[in-house]
Structure 1
């Protein structure tokens, strides 16, 4: 979590954009992403140059010699952030708009530049030289503060803070999943060093970033002291897909700022025939969009065979089962309707999860968790793909607090079920003795089958009614008469005082 000067600097950068006429949070983050990418190219190039000089190895800078931009050849050094940030506002604007942006778009031919592929359709939207000059100065201040702070993941925290300003749902119904909910889901599934992790609706890559952070904290020696595992972590562990190119760029930069060299973040309609993945991933973490209905012609025929529906939340569950390896795990967020919907498609997908695979947990979340973005009631499903059943007892948890108020303000509060959820799930055998009047309890598979595969917690939770003892009616009436007499006396005293 960032605080103090750094937070103020980022808020100040936001104010600069607003004063310059750019108020759309997504556009602002996109433009900041481009500029951070350009600055990072210079920093990385300078670092490699110094390391090569120290080791006596040859190194050719990507800014070396002349660079061809269209029909013109220009001195490559002018494209370096450390050079052009000293130019006058007008000259800097021309250099970035006419030279730097075309330069980063053409970097995809340089295989060493893993992130250039996300910049090939970048559009420079800063309207005036003065705004650009102020933004560049502000970013220089932010980078200087980040360098002074010795926290290991200050870059990631800065980016997360910027992403928190995305307060509106995307046009496809996606909205940013709160970081603490993502972290809880990651801790529940406990990613391993050899996992292949996927989020088929990755947005800003929040789940992938959190999984990477968790692995760095809990499996650091296993991953970073082993060449093959480090290679896997940097290049093939993390996979994300989205249909919003802006989200892809932001998601890719988010991964980069958290130290992942080359995640596979790609433009893809995960529900279409364009997605041929099958039995590929060992872990899925996702909060897929619940935008209602899709055109059936756009949906993969394989998915419709299992679950004939147009509802995205049901199709994504079907997709998860298809792309998981046998033994692969999934933790995903679903709207409450998935748990109790009475349509054939709703029942079919629940039956497949319960009968053909192993459903482990249903965690019911309060409707305020996604405020101010949305007030939808949701739940977390945790299951393992087995292909041959395995559901025995399903763990239900009635989560009523997540450490924040459940209104639009979402201010921190003391009530928080998350530590209890994690602790109980890690020791799930002890839950067998819990009563259905408790916050969490186990439900045998047969009960779920008997209830038409209904997974809503209210179907199984028992409410314990406390018997309240009231005094006899005669005693209550006597008390009322006594109160009336006292009121009468007080009124008489008041009338005497007032001389009425």
Structure 2
């Protein structure tokens, strides 16, 4: 966990950049990411040199061994004059990391070709380098803290993308991961990965749950093949690759792919999909993959992505995804076709309705979590509904921590669904039979099935209320007379 002191140091770096004219939070994080990457390259080189000194075995190097190559290292340039540092980073280090695109480099370096060095002055750069160095040398003790540091920085991205992409709050991501409970042998994908939050949450869960018993093959799988993220924004791909790298996932499959287009042919490849696909967006009808149109013929991204999840999962694979409420009760042919596909041809397990404030301050959109298993042969007998009313934070723009939190209850009940069988539709969670869903046109809105119990309120008779009002009026008149007497004295 990050202490308040560490957060203050990050905020100080942020303020220095803001004061220097970099006011877009995405640009701030991107520039900090480049510098963190440059520092990490030098750290790796120092580790290699230490290993060589102990073992006597020569290892491949990241930096050229001549004087110019060595001058690119963080430890060599960080103490120089601000103008010299600025010149080295801008004209030498940056071109060097942009050209690092070999087989042995990280996923992050693959997305550096179109990166731009935007730090405006030598003084700002020196302040950032000093600030980062102090953080790493005095405060950041381990890999978990590096990940927390980056997560804290990403948390400052309080803006939504053009197509309605929202950064999913960490506690919601963690809830979804715990609902699916991934194992070290799973292959996990987020086809709209953004900053790779879901993949990071899954990685954290696996390390916390299985770390002491994982085999060397499972660790190798963890560092490379286990995690796949797809996105159409190269800036997000850089951020996600860095985020994963800081969580010990050195070579994930982070790819530039328009997931719902014809360029994505991935099918039956993953054990688990965790995602919050873009809402409100539409795509060019010509570019949509034909096999998605057979499930629901539409241009709406929120529908196409759910159809895509079904295609990308292997049989028996599971998905937890966030959808806007419109997916649950929309009346178009495509909406109904998608819901029918989930209920009739696969196993829809749960619909968790979330309050509309979950995505504030990005937006007040109402959403739900769908949990389903790809079977290709049905299997939906009854669907579990949960009406989440609180997530541990206030539902206004401030999102302050509060005591009310349904997430522990959701997790406990979902993992013991046998205890839910006798719960009534008047309660916060309950089962709905498949036949009832079918009768309602495959409507998955919880309000369609939830029964509200109205309490009978007894009111006094009108005469009694009038007497009470008369008494109040007399009392007010007496007080007014008393006040007038005080004023006239």
Q: Same fold (TM over 0.5)?
A: yes
2:139 match: secondary structure: helix
Give the Cα–Cα distance (whole angstroms) in 2 for the partners of residues 231 and 256 of structure 1: 14
Q: Distance in 2 between matches of 1:307 and 1:222?
A: 43
Shift of 1:309: 0.3
CA 104–493 in structure 1, closer or farther in 2 if over 3 Å, else same: closer
The alpha-carbon deviation at position 321 of structure 1 amounts to 0.5
Q: Please point out which of 77, 80, 83 is paired with 1:84.
A: 77
Match among 479, 483, 486 for residue 468 of structure 2:
479
Cα RMSD (Å) of the superposition? 1.7
In the TM superposition, what whole-angstrom CA distance separates every residue of 1:141-200 from its partner, at most 9, and x where no partner exists?
A: 1212334x4x65110110001001111112332121101000010111111111110000
2:276 equivalent in structure 1 = 287
With structure 2 as the length reference, what TM-score do the two structures score?
A: 0.96
In terms of mean alpha carbon deviation, does 115-124 or 162-171 score higher?
115-124
**Residue aligning to 2:20:** 20
Kept in 2, the 8 Å contact 1:193–1:222? The answer is no
TM-score, normalised to structure 1, is: 0.94
In the alignment, what sits opposite 1:75?
Answer: 68
CA–CA distance in structure 2, aligned partners of residues 198 and 60 of structure 1 = 32
**Alignment partner, residue 34 of structure 1:** 34
Residue of structure 2 aligned with 1:425, choices 414, 428, 436: 414
CA distance in 2, matches of 1:60, 1:460: 63
- Report the more deviating stretch, 118-127 or 301-310: 118-127
Match of 1:263 in 2: 252
User: Partner residue of 1:181?
Assistant: 172
CA apart distance, 1:228: 1.4
Give the drift of 1:121. Answer: 2.5
How many angstroms apart in 2 are the aligned matches of 1:152 and 1:11?
A: 20
Distance 1:264 1:477, change over 3 A: same
**1:350 maps to what in 2?**
339
In 1, are the aligned partners of 2:393 and 2:401 still within 8 Å (CA)?
yes
Structure 1, unpaired ranges of 5+? 67-73
1:445 to 434, 448, 460: 434
SS in 1 for 2:99: helix
Aligned pairs (5 A) from 1:55-454: 55-66=55-66, 75-109=68-102, 111-147=104-140, 149=141, 153-223=144-214, 226-454=215-443
Are residues 21 and 486 of structure 1, via their aligned partners in 2, closer, same or farther at CA, if it must alter by over 3 Å? closer
CA distance in 1, matches of 2:480, 2:79: 84
CA positional deviation for 1:132: 1.5
2-structure distance, mates of 1:221, 1:168? 39
Structure 1 residues 371 and 498 mapped into 2: Cα distance closer, same or farther (>3 Å)?
closer
Residue aligning to 1:49: 49
Residue 426 of structure 2 contacts residue 453 of structure 2 at CA under 8 Å; is this kept in 1? yes
- The whole-number CA distance in structure 2 between the counterparts of 1:323 and 1:28 is 34
